[in-house]
């Protein structure tokens, strides 16, 4: 059977950040049709002689000014009609960054770029709401088999910041005593001799990630059953 095919390949990126105790996602305001003036995930078509990974890194750099050391493939979206211009199959990627490590800037097809709290999202173009929801579920599931935080927290942080990060991602209160005991048992945190003095409340010791142990657990995976309050 003769097959006639005219399919374009695109990449889109779901980039999560964490700041001021809120989980955020990086969005761009489209400067071209379709959906001109609407918010969307960063992304675009793959060039002829470009790998998927190079394409998503280029689109992020051009549209947002953000560079990420690690992006993992999330899912492929190819429902006919998802793009009104052409039949487009989008290979999506998922990444975590600390927003204060970057100065975001829009360029090429993007008029604006902005971090949006996950609970205050604008209406998104194309099927990007579905893509974003898929990325959030991946992040929430990922917590159970891979340590989270190295990319999102400051180099040194009070333990409460890690607790708040997990509670924010899961949108649920955790059993703090059980959480602390389990996290410390993995050996991924090193206690420093520094003290954090909050504006209110008691002083707290600062921790940092043990990069070598963290990497070992990332590569081998771990099972972390989180108990909720």
Query: Catalytic residue numbers?
Result: 112
CA–CA dist 96, 18 (Å, integer): 9
Q: Is residue 119 within 8 Å of residue 165, measured between CB atoms?
A: no
Could you tell me how far CA 203 lies from the centroid of its own chain?
30
What is the residue whose two structure tokens read 């927003």? 99
DSSP state of 33: S
- Taking residue 202's Cβ as centre, other Cβ atoms within 10 Å add up to 7
Helix (H, G, I), strand (E, B) or coil at 93: strand
């Amino acid at each position: 059977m003769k097959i006639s095919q005219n399919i374009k390949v695109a990449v889109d990126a779901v980039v999560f950040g964490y700041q001021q105790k809120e989980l955020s996602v990086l969005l761009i305001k489209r400067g071209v049709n379709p959906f001109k003036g609407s918010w969307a995930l960063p992304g675009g078509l793959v060039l002829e002689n470009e790998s998927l990974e190079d394409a998503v890194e280029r689109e992020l750099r051009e549209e947002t000014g953000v560079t990420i050391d690690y992006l993992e493939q999330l899912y492929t979206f190819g429902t006919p009609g998802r793009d009104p211009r052409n039949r487009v199959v989008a290979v999506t990627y998922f990444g975590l960054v600390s927003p204060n490590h970057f100065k975001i800037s829009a360029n090429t097809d993007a008029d604006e770029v902005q971090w949006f709290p996950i609970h205050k999202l604008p209406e998104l173009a194309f099927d990007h709401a579905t893509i974003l929801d898929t990325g959030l579920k991946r992040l929430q599931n990922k917590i159970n088999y891979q340590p989270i935080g190295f990319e999102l927290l400051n180099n040194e942080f009070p333990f409460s910041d890690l607790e708040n990060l997990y509670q924010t991602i899961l949108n649920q209160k955790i059993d703090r005593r059980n959480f602390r005991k389990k996290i410390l048992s993995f050996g991924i945190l090193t206690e420093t001799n520094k003290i954090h003095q909050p504006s209110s409340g008691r002083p707290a010791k600062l921790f940092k990630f043990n990069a070598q142990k963290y990497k070992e657990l990332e590569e081998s995976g771990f099972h972390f059953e989180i108990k909720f309050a």
